[in-house]
Amino acid sequence: MLSYRHSFHAGNPADVLKHLVLAQVLGYQTLKDKPLDYIDTHSGAGFFELAAADAQKTQEYQDGIEKLWQHTSKHSALNDYIALIKSFNQTANLEFYPGSPKIAEHFLRRQDKGWFFELHPRDLLLLEENMQGKRSIRVRGENGFAGLVGLLPPASRRACVLIDPPYEVKDDYDTVITTLMQAYQRFATGTYMIWYPVVDRSRIDNMEQDLIDSGMRNIQLFELATKADTDVHGMTASGMIVINPPWKSKQVMDEVLPELVSILSESSGFYRSEQLVAE
Catalytic positions: 164
Residue 186 · residue 224 · CB < 8 Å:
no
- Classify strands 219-225 and 270-277 as parallel, antiparallel or unpaired: antiparallel
Residue 158 · residue 143 · CB < 8 Å:
no
Distance, in Å, from the CA atom of 67 to the CA atom of 64, rounded to the nearest integer, reads 6
The helix (H) or strand (E) run that includes residue 56 is: helix 53-58
Q: At what angle do helices 76-86 and 13-29 cross, to 10 degrees?
A: 100
Residue 174 · residue 151 · CB < 8 Å:
no
Cα pseudo-dihedral 274, 255, 68, 127, rounded to 10: -50
Buried b (16+ CB within 10 A) or exposed e, 203-219: bbeebbebbeeeebeeb
- Classify strands 237-243 and 191-198 as parallel, antiparallel or unpaired: antiparallel
> Which of 125, 127, 79, 121 lies closest to 102 in space, CA to CA?
127
Q: DSSP letter at 6?
A: G
